[in-house]
Structure 1
Amino acid sequence: MKTSSAYLLVFHGSRDPRPAMAVTQLAALVQEKISQPAERLGSKSEFSPSLAVLEADNRVLVGTAALELAITPLHQQIEAFAQQAQSQGCNRLQIIPLFLLSGVHVKEDIPAAVAKVRSPIKLELKPHLGSYQGIKSLLSQQFADLSPQDRILLSHGSRRSGGNREVENLAAFFGAITAYWSIEPSLPQQIKSLIAQGSQKIAILPYFLFAGGITDAIEAQVFEVSQKHPNVNIFLGKSLGATGELAEIIVEEGCG
């Protein structure tokens, strides 16, 4: 019997509507790419955050679900999507966590939700997005586009022991220093440190999936520091966003 998969993109969830809109756009891009001719993959309305289903003519389904701040718990969202997938002829559901770091959500919360699901079809929990090699290549290109000699990789930050090791390793790969939104060293601290060392051009890359309230606040911080240091060129990159490049990475490394 031929295996027919559906795909569910699980994101964090937010009160800000922008991440929900972006993940819906990303799901559409993933659907478009995964619905292309089979040989391509052979080489290897108002948004409801609880469930958004996209159906292609060839019955490939791509949906989204929110871990937090949804109308229903994640396991119920998964159950509903699994039932939808079965009704469309699918016998496997691949669940893809759209998380950049392997923190408590990836290691505990999502697996616990999946364990609660009573699914009529097979469930397969895939590795989280941040573990994909393509993400490193994408970030490398973004840093190259910004081009200054000094780099800062900005992440949310974790107070858990070892919780920032992934970010530290990633920053070292890019020749960057780290800054964090929720813990020290903060972005303003790191910018001021580089300026004190004589830096004239600084590139900042936010390691966030989608734009939202935090990225707005980051922009405000950068603007404030720039006003105080008009002779220093500070270049702020964007969050990863719902792009064709990101969708390509998800299809190539997450859907299979």
Structure 2
Amino acid sequence: MPRERSPWQPDALLLVGHGTRDRLGTEQFFTLATLLREKLAPVDVEGCLLEFQHPTIAEGWQRLIERGARSISVAPLLLFAAGHARRDIPETIQQCANETRDRGIDARYYHGGPLSRCPQIVELLKQRISATLDGSPPDPDTALVMVGRGSYDSCATTDMRLLAEIVAHQAGFQSRAVGFYAMAEPRLPDVLDRAATEPGIRRVVVQPHLLFQGRLYDAICNQVDEARARHPQVIFDVGDYLGPTAAVADALAYRAIGSLKRKPCRA
């Protein structure tokens, strides 16, 4: 049964994904939008994509306006704050609001933050790692390597390093490291080589910090396969991505609530 709307809630939430050319990854994004819609009912939820596919941000915004939304929480489905969160999405939303105002409609909006180190994401990463270890705590001879996409933004890469340290510490790993697929150092192949040659290490758990299936997840798995060939004496296991889960929906709701504590934006 839908719950009653609390005074702090918006009319609607616009979920902004990055977009991917991978069919399954796209389906997973819209599955997550459905989970969020069910969680936040009766608040309206619309999913839209920054790149590659429809609906675009402008199309998603317009759908909400046409359904009567006048107070919209913008929820970026981004792991960390970089160019998309700081510039691309806010500029596009401001343009949407300006065009709406020009048609005589006054719409407020609130910008939510990226998922970053919110508690639901930390717990989900620990669950993914635990599943890779079949529910057992890590042995001293097991190393954890967390890997992110990478960014030229130093704040985003620092945030990834902090997240990796929190997760590794809480999961009980004595040996841990973080690597990046691109645009930041150290790169994943180098980190895997160092982990595999660390004295006493017999197993390396690689946890990709990615939202959905896509080319990047496949590329990381390929790099791990190459590390297996270089280090046959070490077992390499790759964890699952975050996925369209209730935990990610909870994290988005958590960030959306936080955005409503700030002053709304208007055109």
CA distance in 1, matches of 2:243, 2:126: 15
Displacement of 1:186: 2.0
Does the 8 Å CA contact 1:6/1:85 hold for their aligned counterparts?
Answer: no
**Which residue of 67, 79, 87 maps to 1:85?**
67
Does the 8 Å CA contact 1:78/1:114 hold for their aligned counterparts?
Answer: no
Q: Which residue number in structure 2 is paired with residue 178 of structure 1?
A: 178
Q: Which residue number in structure 1 is paired with residue 13 of structure 2?
A: 7
Q: Which residue number in structure 2 is paired with residue 49 of structure 1?
A: none
CA RMSD across the alignment: 2.3
Taking the TM superposition and a 5 Å limit, the aligned residue runs for 1:217-228 are 217-228=219-230
**Which residue of 105, 130, 134 maps to 2:120?**
134
| DSSP-derived class of the 2:210 partner | coil
Seen in structure 2, the aligned counterparts of structure 1 residues 16 and 226 have a Cα distance that, compared at 3 Å, is same
* Unpaired segments ≥5 residues, structure 2: 1-6, 170-175, 261-267
Q: Which residue number in structure 1 is paired with residue 253 of structure 2?
A: 251
Structure 1 stretch displaced more, 202-211 or 147-156? 147-156
CA distance in 2, matches of 1:201, 1:133: 27
Taking the TM superposition and a 5 Å limit, the aligned residue runs for 1:70-81 are 70=53, 74=57, 76-81=58-63
1:38-87 Cα deviation digits (max 9, x unpaired): xxxxxxxxxxxxxxxxxxxxx5421111112235753x22431332331x
Q: 2:158 aligned with 1:152, yes or no?
A: no
TM-score relative to the length of structure 2:
0.77
Matched residue type, 1:85 = R
Displacement of 1:22: 0.8
Q: Which residue number in structure 2 is paired with residue 104 of structure 1?
A: 83
Q: Which residue number in structure 1 is paired with residue 203 of structure 2?
A: 201
| DSSP-derived class of the 1:129 partner | coil
CA distance in 1, matches of 2:114, 2:72: 15
Q: Which residue number in structure 1 is paired with residue 22 of structure 2?
A: 16
Displacement of 1:100: 0.2
**Which residue of 83, 100, 110 maps to 1:124?**
110
CA distance in 2, matches of 1:215, 1:128: 20
| DSSP-derived class of the 2:45 partner | strand
Taking the TM superposition and a 5 Å limit, the aligned residue runs for 1:46-85 are 59-70=42-53, 74=57, 76-85=58-67
Alignment identity in percent?
25
Does the 8 Å CA contact 1:204/1:235 hold for their aligned counterparts?
Answer: yes
Displacement of 1:18: 2.5
Displacement of 1:229: 2.7
Matched residue type, 2:63 = F
CA distance in 2, matches of 1:126, 1:142: 25
* Unpaired segments ≥5 residues, structure 1: 36-58
| DSSP-derived class of the 2:73 partner | strand
| DSSP-derived class of the 2:219 partner | helix
**Which residue of 213, 216, 240 maps to 2:215?**
213
CA distance in 1, matches of 2:54, 2:15: 17
Matched residue type, 1:234 = F
Displacement of 1:145: 3.4
Dislocated runs of 4+, deviation >4 Å: none
Displacement of 1:208: 0.9
Tell me the number of residue pairs that the alignment of Structure 1 and Structure 2 aligns: 229
Seen in structure 2, the aligned counterparts of structure 1 residues 94 and 160 have a Cα distance that, compared at 3 Å, is closer
CA distance in 2, matches of 1:85, 1:129: 27
Seen in structure 2, the aligned counterparts of structure 1 residues 10 and 140 have a Cα distance that, compared at 3 Å, is same
| DSSP-derived class of the 2:110 partner | strand
